[in-house]
Structure 1
Amino acid sequence: MTRARILVVDDKPTFLSLFEKLAGDRMDVRTASTAAKALGVLELETVDVVVTDIRMPDMDGVELLHELKRRGLDIEVILVTAYGTIPQAVRAMQDGAFSYLTKPFDPAEALAIIEAAILRRRMREEPAADSVEEDRDGRDDDAQEGSRLAALSYREVVDLARDRATREYLVELLRTARGNVTRAAQRARLERESLHRLMRRYHLRAEDFRDKA
């Protein structure tokens, strides 16, 4: 099974060390102290996720995001922001960033967001699922759903959509593997413990997907 690989970009060595300790036992962690060095790493290696601070001396995290998009690299980007740059991070999500972390962040939450980004990246490598026939009377439901969405913030809508897509993918993954978590993790190219963590987050149990005797 190919381990997930992330690239952490920050000009502060303590921040880079933090992520190496946080995620190093579950995924391969590469580090870079500047955006330019990060681009150099990406010329040599493929990564699933880039975690980058917004404020850096040469090219900031948002500019790095735009450069990755310009180069057509299929990488999820998570921005790390202080309170004062949250609006900038939200705008970056509109430009394609996966999510953002606000300093100081909870390590467990950070790891969960990184794993969700990895899963989304891996989902794009899976064959497209068969389309589901829409309900003929679904227009009223769509209108109600639209009203609910309109009451949410942009980030809440994005997070909701990602949560739904991630849960649907996990359900299909476990259904195909008939509840065999090891097989499902291998197919998704995730560590088994990472898949277990995602299952707990989305309240999924392996036994619900096993063949009944």
Structure 2
Amino acid sequence: MYPLPDSKTAAGPGARYKVLVVDDEPTLRLGFSYALSDHDTDTAANGTEALHKLNAEDYDIVILDLRMPDIDGLRVIESLRRHGNLLPIVLCSAAITPSAALRAITGHVVDFLLKPVQPAELRGVVKHVLAPGESLFSQAMALARLGRYEEAIIKLQQADGTEPQIQAWLGILRAIRGGSLEGEAAAFSKLERQGLSDLAYRAE
């Protein structure tokens, strides 16, 4: 449904995307929409509203809050994946636990924003996800979003191994690539030790 972008087909830097921002805080929805004013941005106040909108319309990407009062972000992810929807999702929260991160990653969500979020990070993560460019790291993450972990690992192994972000993702993807309970336990242990500081998106 959502093929791996490449340098020939990915939209350019000025592309306009349809973005759904899901957060139960009205001020954050307004701020995120303003920061993404170069795109066609829609909002939802909770998980239920988000699922209704996602069933009714096509979006390019979702910026999704983790903690919401009705249906939390993880349940939104699981509902979409259960129905075969591989829409790119960026999980956004002030505090993402190792268990939440692992559930998201195994649901093909590998893009995280840690609140408070800067406008440059919002704009940057949309470009990072939808127009990944030719860097090995960007292409590896594009593969990981499709659950193609082995291919993603090969890309990361070809990249600059001294980068903490690359090493962190190599460790997580290696742990879960087989889809086994043992692998998930190993990934959980890694997340407990290092947190999301090296995994979360940061504007350059």
TM-score after normalising by structure 1: 0.55
1:99 to 108, 111, 131: 111
Number of the residue aligned with 1:90: 101
Aligned partners of 1:86 and 1:102 also within 8 Å: no
Point out where structure 2 has 5 or more consecutive residues left out of the alignment: 1-10, 133-153, 174-203
Q: 1:6·1:49 contact (CA, 8 Å) conserved in 2?
A: yes
Indicate the percent of aligned positions where both proteins have the same amino acid.
30
List gaps (5 residues or longer) in structure 1.
121-140, 159-200, 202-213
What's the offset of the Cα at 1:23?
Answer: 0.4
1:98–1:117 contact (8 Å) kept in structure 2? no
Change (3 A) 1:98 1:152: closer
Q: CA deviation at 1:70?
A: 1.0
Counterpart residue number, 2:40: 28
Q: Which residue of 1 aligns with 2:54?
A: 42
Matches within 5 A, 1:47-62: 47-62=59-74
Matches within 5 A, 1:133-172: 148=161, 152-154=167-169
Structure 1 runs (4+) greater than 6 angstroms displaced: 155-158
Larger Cα Rg: Structure 1 or Structure 2?
Answer: 1
SS in 1 for 2:167: coil
Deviation at 1:145, TM superposition (A): 5.4
Structure with more of its chain in helix, by fraction:
1
Distance 1:49 1:98, change over 3 A: farther
1:94, CA displacement in angstroms? Answer: 3.2
User: What is the Cα deviation at residue 54 of structure 1?
Assistant: 0.3
CA RMSD in angstroms, aligned pairs only: 3.3
> Take 2:71 and 2:54, find their aligned partners in 1: how far apart are those partners?
15
| Counterpart in the other structure of 1:8 | 21
Contact 2:48-2:71 within 8 A present in 1 as well = yes
**What is the aligned length?**
136
What residue identity is the alignment partner of 2:16?
R
C-alpha contact 2:36 2:122 (8 A) present in aligned 1 = no
Q: Secondary structure at the match of 2:122?
A: helix
Distance 1:10 1:155, change over 3 A: farther
Matched, 1:109 2:121: yes
Residue 63 of structure 1: CA displacement? 1.1
Q: Which structure exhibits the higher relative contact order, with contacts defined as CA atoms closer than 8 Å and separated by 6 or more residues?
A: 2
**One-letter amino acid of the structure 1 residue matched with residue 40 of structure 2:** D
Preserved contact between residue 66 and residue 72 of structure 2 (Cα < 8 Å): yes
CA 1:28–1:63 in 2, change beyond 3 Å: closer, same or farther? Answer: same
Structure 1 residue 157: Cα displacement: 7.1
| Deviation readout 1:41-82 (Å, 9 max, x if unpaired) | 112210011111100011111111111111112310001111
- Please say if residues 32 and 122 of structure 2, whose CA atoms lie closer than 8 Å, have aligned partners that are also in contact: no
Given the alignment of the two structures, is residue 18 of structure 1 paired with residue 40 of structure 2, yes or no?
no
